Amino acid sequence: MKTIGLIGGMSWESSAEYYWLIDRHSKALHGGHHNAKSVLMTVDFAEIEALQSAHDWPALGACMADAARRLEAAGADFVVLDTNTMHRVADSIAAAVTLPFLHVADLAGAELLLSPALATNRRVPPGETITLLLLVSASAATMLPMK
């Protein structure tokens, strides 16, 4: 079983939810008293929120990169980020470690390609790609654009 490296703390409530879901799935998958092997690195959300409010994305990238390096040093086999907004600095995280970084957009896109919700009469074969169009509501359009 591989060790999951979790960058959390944005907010602690969501980190607890991620942890609970991962272990619940692991127990369902493996049975008995199994749970996932994981390392959780939490950050102080007050510091993150202040940097977000200041739109200091380079500093935010450095914070997330530091957390990823700590997870690598602690023995994680791959890194996931327990938040949506901070995926904006995914490149900083991926560049900071030699571990795989599982990006939420890649995982969601892969799941969507397997979903009957995709408006196509066939599944997309492995190795083939399609373009997905993301529709954003008017209220969400006021948010900063993602890379």
pLDDT in tens, 54-93: 999 999 999 999 999 999 999 999 999 888 888 889 999 9
Cα–Cα distance, 87 to 19 (Å, whole number) = 18
Q: Structure pTM?
A: 0.74
Residue 118 predicted with pLDDT over 60 = no
Higher model confidence: residue 146 or residue 115?
Answer: 115
Cα–Cα distance, 73 to 96 (Å, whole number) = 12
Q: How confident is the model at residue 9 (pLDDT cuts 50, 70, 90)?
A: confident
Cα–Cα distance, 81 to 101 (Å, whole number) = 8
Interstrand relation of 37-42 and 101-102 (parallel, antiparallel or unpaired): unpaired
Domains along the chain? Answer: 3-103 (3.40.50.1860)
Cβ(81)–Cβ(4) under 8 Å?
Answer: no
Cβ(9)–Cβ(43) under 8 Å?
Answer: yes
Cα–Cα distance, 11 to 83 (Å, whole number) = 8
Q: 36-47 burial, b for 16+ CB within 10 Å, e for fewer?
A: bebbbbebebee
